[in-house]
Amino acid sequence: AQSVTQLGSHVSVSEGALVLLRCNYSSSVPPYLFWYVQYPNQGLQLLLKYTSAATLVKGINGFEAEFKKSETSFHLTKPSAHMSDAAEYFCAVSDRAYNQGGKLIFGQGTELSVKP
Amino acid sequence: DAMVIQNPRYQVTQFGKPVTLSCSQTLNHNVMYWYQQKSSQAPKLLFHYYDKDFNNEADTPDNFQSRRPNTSFCFLDIRSPGLGDAAMYLCATSVRTGTDTQYFGPGTRLTVL
């Protein structure tokens, strides 16, 4: 069965510093991987999605993630943090069509704080 | 803009009093999902509709029901809310299930008194 582990439930960075949010996945077949962001009292918004077309995926708001099969990782990065990036970030995996038993599996989330 | 809309954004109910949450979409997607998200936790899938086909998760309590009268609307009914049902309820849509991107609404925060 597929699973997702997000390392660090809380990450704090200074404004302008590099953002690195870690995600490791487990899947027996090539996965589809997602990063979603959730602002307080809001729904989830898709940041980016890996579909095997390219290992480096660029998303919205300056975020990107790199798929590394050998490390089973899909870490999210942003070169320079902005105050508006403070939010909860969820990594998710799906590796099969739902009617074949797969579904979107979320990690536990990482709360990003940005200090002025 | 095409979107997923949830009403109300905040709902307060009393212990044991039935409550209905609403979701509508203008994306014309085939699939509509309901998730429950408790504080500082990941969203937990309750069930989904693929067109008119209802798919319940094995661990979803019987207290939770859903209706999808047409493509655009989907409702979550909680028959007898308990204190443990207080949570954010998220509706999402996708074209197909599995690997397709899910688009989320803003959520309804349910308080049970």
For residue range B66-89, list pLDDT tens digits in order.
999 999 999 999 999 999 999 999
Interface of A with B (CB under 8 A): 9, 32, 34, 36, 41-46, 49, 51, 90, 94-100, 102-104, 106-109, 111
| pLDDT greater than 60 at residue B108 | yes
DSSP A19-80: EEEEEEEE-SSPPEEEEEEE-TT--EEEEEEE-SS-SEEE-GGG-EEEEETTTTEEEEEESS
pLDDT of res. B52: 92
Who wins on pLDDT, B97 or B4? Answer: B4
Contacts of A43 in chain B (CB under 8 A): 4, 6, 90, 92, 104-107
Nearest to A43 among B40, B45, B105 (CB): B105
CA-based nearest residue in chain B for residue A43: B106
Confidence class of residue B3 from pLDDT cuts 50, 70 and 90? Answer: very high
pLDDT of res. A100: 53
For residue range B28-43, list pLDDT tens digits in order.
999 999 999 998 899 9
- Residue B42 at interface with chain A, using a CB cutoff of 8 Å: yes
Contacts of B60 in chain A (CB under 8 A): none
Average pLDDT of span B11-39: 95
Residue A40, phi-psi category: left (phi > 0), alpha (psi -120 to 50), beta (remainder): beta
For residue range A60-88, list pLDDT tens digits in order.
999 999 999 999 999 999 999 999 999 99
| pLDDT greater than 60 at residue A55 | yes
Residue A99 to residue B98, Cβ atoms within 8 A: yes
Least confident window among A101-110, B2-11, B61-70: A101-110
